[in-house]
Amino acid sequence: MRIEPLFSADQIQERVRELAGRLARDYADAPLTVICIAEGARRFVDDLLRQLAQRGVEPERLDVRAERTEGTTLGPVQVEHFDPEGLEGRDVLVADDIADEGATLQAVLEIVSLGEPRSMRTAVLIDKRERRRELVTIDYAAFELEAGWVIGYGMDVDGEYRELDWIGLLKDDRF
C-alpha cells in the first residue's frame, strides 16, 4: 500500500482555524450544539472546539456513534443511542470527518430534525463529492476532494493510520 500525501499537519490546522473563524462569526450569540458523528471526526471536532473556545464560543458537544463502514465496505447507516430531545430552539452543527455519499450525515440530520432545533448546519473536514448520493448540504468544509480513499488525522482503513497528523490518499487497487 502506498500513501500519497494530500494535506500537511500545518495545512490542516490552518484550515481548522479558518473554519473556526467563520463559525465564531456565524454563532457569536447563539446557543450552539456540535454533534460529532463518527470516531474519525473526533480529532477534527476536538481541534475545531479548541479554536472556537479561543474565539469565545463554547458550544455544547454531543458525540454520537453513527457509521456505515466496516473496513472499506459500506453498509446501512447505524446510529446508536441518540435522543434529539434537548435540541429544541438550539443551533446545531453536525460535524463529520468526510462527506462521501452523504448517507451518514443525512441519517443524523433526520434524527436531529426531530428535536426541532432552531437551525441545522453541517461541517466536515473533507467534502468528497465523487460518490454523493444524498442531497445533503455541506455548509462548512475545510477541504474539498473529488475522489479517493483518505487516511490520517482520525480517518482510517481497517483501524490503521488514524494517528497520522497529516492526511494522505491511499493508493491501492481496492480503492
Domain boundaries, given as residue ranges, for the chain: 8-148
Model confidence, pTM: 0.87
Nearest by Cα to 33 from 12, 64, 55: 64
Q: What is the C-alpha to C-alpha distance for residues 41 and 94, in angstroms, rounded to an integer?
A: 11
- The answer on pLDDT for 41 being more than 80 is yes
- The answer on pLDDT for 74 being more than 70 is no
Q: What is the pLDDT of residues 106-144, one digit of tens each?
A: 888 988 998 999 999 999 999 988 777 778 899 999 999
Mean pLDDT (whole number) for 65-94: 74
Q: How many CB atoms are closer than 10 A to CB 77?
A: 17
Residue 97, pLDDT score: 92
Helix, strand, coil percentages in the chain from 3-state DSSP, rounded to 5? 25, 40, 35
The distance in angstroms from the start CA to the end CA of the chain is 11
Residue 130, pLDDT score: 78
Spot the catalytic one: 100, 127, 139, 173: 100
Residue 157, pLDDT score: 83
Q: 3.40.50.2020, 1.10.3720.10, 3.40.462.10, 3.40.50.2000: which CATH number matches 8-148?
A: 3.40.50.2020
Q: Is 83 annotated as catalytic?
A: no
